[in-house]
Structure 1
Amino acid sequence: MVILRADDQFLLLRRAKPPNVGLYAPVGGKVDPYEDPYQTGLRETLEETGIAVPKLKYVGSLVETSPVAYNWWCSIYLADIAWQPAPPCDEGRLEWIPCTQLDQIPTPPTDAAVYQYVAREQPFAMRAIFDAELRMLSLAEEIEGKLLYEIPH
């Protein structure tokens, strides 16, 4: 996943396709053969936005696991870019969201924590566990050994 940032705004994708239909998320996708996560970030950013970013900064990882076909290992990158009108995208609608409004838009349950760590420029290794209905049961940050969220029992 690549978080595209221009000053105090993120260019996020309101997803029209699974997973996370209707939610705002960074651009990204699956690794192609003979491609590493960095190359994937560059390629997916170009494919989904038309923006050729010169470089990416690795900010952390997110592992999402569940008992169903929702299991992801995401390398998360940050790219600082110049503001430009949000381009069209086949995956949904790209929109500039001010960082101060990230808590006011629908996002996947892991993303608020990701954005907080990015804002603090703090590396992270997050682990999210979901149930079969894809409700997040827990979210932990492994570097600090910190439980960020756990569903009340």
Structure 2
Amino acid sequence: MTTQRCVGGIVFDADGRLLLIRRGHEPSAGLWSLPGGRVEPGETDAEAVVRELHEETGLTVRPTGLAGTVTRGRYEIHDYTCTVVTGRLHPGDDADDARWVDTVELTALERAGLLTDGLTETLRQWDVAPRC
């Protein structure tokens, strides 16, 4: 099985809430996750993160560093911390919804089974869970 290189963005607002999107398509349709997607041929990870986050959230971001990498099935996902440069949050592309979540909201989504597999555990391991 060939892996598909993907990227995700870990973005916080001024209050320390984490940006999540609800996936509109497979894989994991209907579940909340970090915004992101496939790296296109000839594209760097940084270019892909900027493009994907803009398409899915309406925000323009600047990647600041690699938080970590996970493999989910055939997807090798490189998640980058990012800061918002400009834009207004709204779902787009394959995102049904987009919102900022705090620790309480993230825990509630996890308990309800509405997060992508392993998301909360990975965020905690990388020390990038919501800060409020």
With a CA cutoff of 8 Å and minimum separation of 6, indicate the structure with the bigger relative contact order: 2
Q: Distance in 2 between matches of 1:37 and 1:2?
A: 11
Offset of 1:62 from its aligned partner?
A: 0.3
Please point out which of 101, 105, 109 is paired with 1:97: 101
Which of the two has higher C-alpha Rg?
A: 1
Offset of 1:26 from its aligned partner?
A: 0.8
Offset of 1:63 from its aligned partner?
A: 1.0
Q: Indicate the residue corresponding to 1:25 in structure 2.
A: 33
Q: Indicate the residue corresponding to 2:12 in structure 1.
A: 5
Is 2:95 aligned against 1:88?
Answer: no
Q: Distance in 2 between matches of 1:95 and 1:120?
A: 16
Q: Normalising by the residue count of structure 2, what TM-score does the alignment of the two structures yield?
A: 0.76
Q: Distance in 2 between matches of 1:54 and 1:75?
A: 15
Please point out which of 54, 62, 68 is paired with 1:54: 62
Q: CA RMSD in A?
A: 2.3
Q: Normalising by the residue count of structure 1, what TM-score does the alignment of the two structures yield?
A: 0.66
Structure 2 contact 21–91 (Cα < 8 Å) conserved: no
Offset of 1:18 from its aligned partner?
A: 0.8
Deviates more, 1:42-51 or 1:76-85: 76-85
Structure 1 contact 38–56 (Cα < 8 Å) conserved: no
**Where do 5+ consecutive residues of structure 1 fail to align?**
66-70, 122-153
**Where do 5+ consecutive residues of structure 2 fail to align?**
1-7
Q: Distance in 2 between matches of 1:84 and 1:39?
A: 17
Change (3 A) 1:84 1:9: farther
CA offsets per residue over residues 17-68 of structure 1, 9 Å max, x none?
1111111101111111111222211111122222111333210000123xxx
Structure 1 contact 25–107 (Cα < 8 Å) conserved: yes
Offset of 1:83 from its aligned partner?
A: 9.9
